[in-house]
Amino acid sequence: MSGLRVAAVFRRIVLQFRRDPRSLALLFAAPIAIIALLGWVLSSQQTLTARIAIVDEASGPTAQLVTSRLQSVLGGQTGIVLDRSVTDDSSARQALKDNQLDLVIVLPPDFSAENRKIELLTLGLNPTAEASVLPAVQRSLITTVAESAVGAALPTFERATVYGSPDATTLDTLAPVVVGFFVYFFVFILTGISFLRERLGGTLERLLATPVSRAEIVLGYSLGFGFFATLQVTLVLAFVLARLQIPALGPVPAFALGLGVRTAGSPLIAYLLVLILGLGAVSLGIFLSTFARSELQILEFIPIVIVPQGVLGGFFWPIDQLPALLQPVARILPVTYAIDGLRQVMIAGADMTSGQVLMDLGVLVAIAAVFVTLAVTTIRREVA
């Protein structure tokens, strides 16, 4: 291992990158733009008014009691508009189709004191959005039924959490995930394409004709892209964590720069996690460039390499909620451990004494080591 040769490879990558404004923009401007957009959407999500109708098909005494109770409870809730003009099932369905209603509470014909099953009918075009109406309705139903049984007002609930605050926005919990994911994605793409260019441009052939070793090439690449990944993480973390109020200036209204996400733990550990993740991505990029013939084919690896990590890595759903068959898959993906570690640090405020964080770091190091080995052994291979 020669420091001079590693430094030469490192220096060359930094020089090449500095001359490539497009890649620089991809590395620095794109994540900021995407995170800003995400932050904007998540922080000011419109609370929709739910238009609800109650259809009583049973008309028995129990049904009538429930209907009137529901009407009084739902009618008094903010964000809910009760439509009393729709009273039968077919006109309710038509109103849903015509986008005049969001949800219909149906008391089916066989509804009675013994069979108390109530149907909640929505359109079904966008289940997630429609489901957001349900909690309010269910609360009302519980209140209605319970109050008729107890005959007195119910106790109220207040949520508390061990970590963070119960009113933490989706943004606070998503931010750590987004940081980890972007680093992985961009570092992989840029390394993959850079290394493919080495193969196609004949420079790799020339490199291998010099005394430089494959390990020195991979190390130089890791340092080079690690350098840019560090800059990227610094910028992205600063943007996510800081919040700078910019006052109104002339026609430009006041706005805030940065998302101001609260982090409980040390940003340095978050940094370390993301950096090790990035180093793994460098080697994965080098390794997979062996199997590509063109830059387009590097992009074709995205559905295979990046998307599963996004779907399974804990970005949307906790690992424990995944189908049993997919859980082991999720547990070998590096992003899974980066996301877990970042959540531990940024939300739970874990430090280096936390077994969970150490485990995440350890697994990330191990995965990076596997990718580095793969990269070193495949460098000599011809373009697939």
Partner 1 sequence: MTTSAAPAKPAPGGPPAVEAIALRKSFGEIVAVDDVAMSLPPGRIYGLLGPNGSGKTTLIRLLTGLASPSSGTARVLGVAMPSRANLSHIGYMTQSDGIYPELSVWENLTFFAALYGQTNKADLHRTLELVELDKRAGTPAAQLSGGMRRRLSMACALAHHPQVIFLDEPTVGVDPALRIQFWDHFHRLAAAGATLLVSSHVMDEADRCDELLFIRDGRVLAQGTPGDLRSRAGTDNLETAFLSFAGGPAGSAATASETVR
16 binds partner 1 (CB under 8 A): yes
Amino acid (one-letter) located at 96: L
- Report the nearest approach of partner 1 to the CB of residue 8 (Å): 4
Return all residues near 319 (Cβ < 8 A) that are at least 6 apart.
312, 327, 330, 331, 336
Q: Would you state the structure tokens that stand for residue 179, as one six-digit string?
A: 């940081």
Please provide residue 152's backbone torsions phi and psi, each rounded to the nearest 5 degrees.
-140, 165
Among 155, 211, 253, 355, binds partner 1 (CB under 8 A): 211
Q: Is 14 in the site for partner 1 (CB under 8 A)?
A: no
Q: How far is the CB of 287 from partner 1 (least distance, A)?
A: 20
Which CB, 221 or 239, lies closer to partner 1?
221
Count of Cβ atoms closer than 10 Å to residue 223 Cβ:
18
3-state secondary structure (DSSP) of residue 209: coil
**Closer to partner 1 at the Cβ: 127 or 211?**
211
209, 248, 249, 324: which one binds partner 1 (CB under 8 A): 209
- If binding means CB under 8 A, how many residues of this protein chain bind partner 1? 24
Residue 42 neighbours by CB under 8 Å, 6+ apart: 169, 170, 171, 174
Q: Which of 205, 257, 316, 328 binds partner 1 (CB under 8 A)?
A: 205
Report in angstroms the alpha-carbon separations of 215 from 79, 206, 301, 343. Answer: 62, 16, 24, 33
H or E element: which one contains 82?
strand 80-83
Q: CB-wise, 165 or 377, nearer to partner 1?
A: 377
Closest contact distance (angstroms) between CB of 236 and partner 1 is 25
Give the nearer residue to partner 1 in terms of CB position, either 109 or 201.
Answer: 201
Q: By CB under 8 A, what part of segment 101-140 binds partner 1?
A: none
Token code pair at residue 86: 């729709």
Token output for 318: 């906790």
293 binds partner 1 (CB under 8 A): no
Closer CB to partner 1, 292 or 379, in the complex: 379
User: Of 1, 4, 150, 325, which one interacts with partner 1 (CB under 8 A)?
Assistant: 4
Look at residue 267 and give its three-state secondary structure. Answer: helix
DSSP 191-228: HHHHHHHHHHTTHHHHHHTSS--HHHHHHHHHHHHHHH
For partner 1, the closer CB: 19 or 84? 19
Binding site for partner 1 (CB under 8 A): 2, 4-5, 7-9, 11-12, 15-16, 19-20, 201-203, 205-213
